[in-house]
Chains A and B, each alone.
Chain A
């Protein structure tokens, strides 16, 4: 086998907080019709990591089915998140409980600024990142697509920065390719687009910008056929990653013919 063929076929893994993964697609577990559909979508997506929320147990119906019955935390890495938290204190409390419930220290931090846009509150997010890192957590942090904010998070101990492509659940796609690319160029930790991806091509765009991965929930859960969309996303992330590693052609202003000019009849 030649060197270049071997290189193309070598597994393209990524590492976060010392943990190595093959799939570059992380999926959420919200908004599904039921746990069974959720589990089928996760399987179709090839995701090795799923985000989960920490919520009060329904004490009036303690025997209700649980997510862990359908998606095995021993086979898939659970990434507890702080969805619904609007202050650093709430986010920190939630993650401490998550760690107590399952021993996870690789976590997703999000601290929201307002309900309408679900945009991150960067001041609270930075504060929480620093405290969590000191307590031994490995926070992957949802943030704005601002290269300075991303650097600051890294300095505070974020093990991955996760800029939004567009507001959570909007499906508006990557709105600012320029800043996502700048974040990728400046980061020493993995960069994943988290939020706003709506369809397969948008996931591919994120990967072509050089991102290490993509995190999504609504794009799959709210597709007409979630299982099929999960598969599409798996292919899109792989395609985008291959295109990025292949090194795309240069853009030209005008045409450049593909067939030889000599020998025309």
Chain B
């Protein structure tokens, strides 16, 4: 438990194993990285880098996609 990272994902707390990349988080949530966009600590995480960016304790992530809107 102490080794896990505590993140905030879409406003909710989430724990992941140390060494996880953003791509790991996204697929771990059952999402397709090709269909979403990710922001980490208020900066866009380019899709091409999702597998390379390793998460840190306290990271705040926003994972978004398109929904119906006017």
**Which residues does A use to contact B, with CB under 8 Å?**
28-32, 35, 38, 51-57, 59, 62-63, 66-68, 78, 80-81, 83, 93, 96-98, 100-102, 168-169, 217-218
Contact = CB atoms under 8 A, between A and B. Distances in A.
B39 A68 contact: no
A47 to B, nearest CB: 13
B64 A101 contact: yes
A54 B37 CA distance: 9
15 contacts: A28-B68, A28-B69, A32-B68, A53-B69, A53-B70, A54-B67, A57-B63, A66-B65, A66-B66, A67-B66, A78-B66, A80-B66, A97-B64, A217-B69, A217-B70
A53 B66 contact: yes
A168 B69 CA distance: 12
Contacts of A96: 44
B15 interface: no
A100 B46 CA distance: 7
Interface string B43-70: 0111100000000000000111111111
A30 B70 contact: yes
Given A59-B10, A93-B39, A100-B37, A52 B44 contact: no
B63 A100 contact: no
B2 interface: no
Contacts, number: 101
Interface of B: 9-12, 29-31, 35-39, 42, 44-47, 62-70
Contacts of A55: 64-67, 69
A93 B44 CA distance: 8
B70 A168 contact: yes
A63 B9 CA distance: 17
A84 B70 CA distance: 10
Contact of A81 (B12, B45, B70): B70
A32 B44 CA distance: 30
Given A59-B29, A62-B30, A62-B31, A98 B37 contact: yes
